[in-house]
């Protein structure tokens, strides 16, 4: 990043106090607003300008708003917690190069001009967004999301692990806002961060899915392909349609999602009035420097069942071990060291339990998180194996396109660091309707009845995350 003139350093540092000082009895917001306006006026303006100030600590949904503007939320357990509104930069891509293009776009943020208030902790600029499950992109209700869409929000709010919070304004190179207009905009954003939590949504909804006989036929066809040797595993996504009498309250869903303590990766993306949000139990990959982390999460049962028997069930272990093998096979050639737990543990996640194997390593070279995601997606936990055969089978047989469901969603930094979760336990919401998906891994020994029950449990878990009753 470039150094800003006037004594404020780029790249998250600083060399002096701002030109103004707080007057007697002056509210902190006044100083913050003036710093934002002053920072926005610094030059030269040949690149993006980022102005970061301290902000009140607030729940992430406070910034969301009801105006329909582009908005994002990302919260990784033990990682970054971000919310954003507006759009200073948008990156879209499709096809086999979509991961590389997003990574290259993130790297350009190194050239931005960064102005940081002395009381604000350092922040790394980040693109937030996701990739569709399939490389060719999205259609129907998913069309605004495309094959890959990432944004640098105009306003990014971050809660830091030391208990502080920051607000960052991003300005495009050609943007020179009037000081009065920018000051009013900044005050409105700060006011949002102090809004009370809205009441939860208590209404009931109607939930429909494909007929049981159609599901049975899909599972039986998958089992026939496995018996014939063309597949070892394939994951079927069962679609569910949610309808309400009135517009579904996305903001209330988001408040409930972020108030939960289930330990999931919480995400929300609003594009062209359509929102995809959820809380995923599954990390695809995270990179911090040379350290890389992933996990295998496959094999599911209702919480409360005999957990020891579940952990040793041959069908569950076979489904899980396929995922472990695939992740190990992709990461091992890239790492000096790779640690894979010898046996899976049982992880509780709301109403469900899953077999879980953590995987971590140290990269041999500079491999950006987008390239790691490209190599790993889709794991057999959401696709199948052999991967190409499973994906072709899914494309021919699933009745509703997945869009971003089971795709990678997350955050990318200019350094190549970042994290992606697998977009599970989520819903695509627009108006009175929402759609969600629940997946089941089909292997030898699976039954249509068992997988029907499993997808029903997962759908109920996704609905519960949002506070919806069926």
Active site positions, annotated: 233, 282
Neighbours of 329 (CB within 10 A): 10
Q: What angle do CA 320, 322, 325 make, to 5 degrees?
A: 115
Which tokens sit at 50? 């980022």
Q: Are 302 and 105 contacting, i.e. CB atoms less than 8 angstroms apart?
A: no
DSSP 87-151: -SEEEE--STTHHHHHHHHHHGGGGSEEEE-TTSPP----EEEEE-SSTT---GGGGGG-SEEEE
Three-state DSSP at 306 gives coil
d(CA 437, CA 435): 7
DSSP 307-376: HHHHHH-HHHHHHHHHHHHHHHHHHGGGEEEEEE-SSPEEEEETTEEEEEEEEEEEESS---HHHHHHHH
First to last CA, the chain: 50
Q: What angle do CA 329, 333, 337 make, to 5 degrees?
A: 100
Neighbours of 244 (CB within 10 A): 18
Three-state SS annotation for 255-292: HHHHHCCCCCEEEEEEECCEEEEEEECCEEEEEECCEE
Question: Using CB atoms within 10 A of its CB, is residue 94 exposed (0-12), middle (13-18) or buried (19+)?
Answer: middle
Non-local CB neighbours of 229 within 8 Å, separated by 6+ positions: none
The length of the chain is 470
Q: Are 119 and 165 contacting, i.e. CB atoms less than 8 angstroms apart?
A: no
Neighbours of 40 (CB within 10 A): 20
Non-local CB neighbours of 346 within 8 Å, separated by 6+ positions: 307, 310, 311, 353, 354, 355, 356
Which tokens sit at 87? 């759009």
- Chain center to CA of 312: 31
């Amino acid at each position: 990043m470039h150094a800003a003139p006037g004594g404020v350093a780029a790249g998250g540092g600083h060399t002096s106090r701002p030109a103004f000082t707080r007057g007697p009895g002056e509210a902190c917001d006044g100083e913050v607003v003036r710093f934002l306006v002053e920072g926005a006026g610094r030059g030269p303006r040949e690149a993006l300008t980022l102005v970061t100030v301290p902000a009140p600590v607030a729940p992430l949904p406070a910034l969301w708003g009801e105006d329909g503007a582009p908005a994002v939320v990302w919260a990784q357990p033990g990682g970054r917690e971000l919310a954003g509104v507006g759009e200073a930069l948008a990156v879209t891509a499709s096809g086999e190069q979509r991961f590389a293009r997003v990574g290259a776009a993130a790297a350009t943020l190194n050239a931005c001009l960064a102005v940081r208030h002395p009381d604000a902790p350092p922040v790394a600029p980040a693109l937030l967004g996701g990739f569709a499950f399939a490389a060719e992109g999205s259609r129907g209700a998913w069309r605004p999301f495309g094959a890959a869409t990432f944004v640098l929000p105009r306003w990014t709010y971050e809660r830091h692990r030391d208990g502080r919070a920051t607000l960052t304004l991003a300005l495009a190179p050609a943007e020179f806002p009037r000081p009065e207009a920018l000051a009013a905009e900044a005050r409105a954003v700060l006011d949002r961060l102090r809004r009370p939590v809205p009441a939860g949504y208590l209404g009931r909804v109607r939930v429909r899915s494909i007929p049981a006989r159609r599901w049975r036929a899909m599972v039986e066809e998958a089992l026939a392909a496995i018996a014939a040797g063309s597949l070892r595993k394939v994951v079927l996504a069962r679609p569910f349609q949610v309808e309400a009498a009135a517009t579904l309250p996305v903001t209330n869903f988001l408040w409930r999602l972020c108030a939960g303590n289930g330990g999931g990766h919480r995400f929300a993306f609003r594009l062209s009035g359509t929102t995809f949000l959820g809380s995923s139990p599954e990390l695809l990959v995270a990179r911090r420097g040379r350290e890389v982390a992933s996990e295998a999460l496959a094999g599911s049962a209702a919480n409360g069942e005999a957990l020891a028997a579940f952990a040793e069930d041959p069908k569950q272990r076979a489904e899980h071990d396929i995922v472990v093998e695939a992740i190990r096979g992709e990461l091992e050639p890239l790492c000096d060291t790779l640690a894979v737990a010898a046996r899976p543990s049982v992880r509780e996640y709301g109403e469900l339990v899953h077999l879980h194997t953590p995987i971590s390593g140290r990269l041999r070279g500079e491999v950006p998180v987008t390239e790691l995601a490209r190599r790993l997606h889709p794991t057999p936990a959401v696709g199948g194996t052999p991967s190409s055969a499973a994906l072709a089978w899914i494309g021919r047989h699933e009745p509703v396109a997945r869009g971003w469901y089971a795709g990678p969603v997350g955050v990318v930094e200019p350094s190549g660091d970042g994290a992606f979760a697998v977009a599970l336990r989520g819903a695509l919401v627009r108006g009175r309707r929402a759609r969600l998906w629940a997946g089941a891994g089909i292997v030898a020994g699976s039954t249509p009845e068992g997988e029907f029950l499993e997808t029903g449990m997962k759908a109920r878990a996704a609905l519960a995350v949002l506070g919806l009753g069926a």
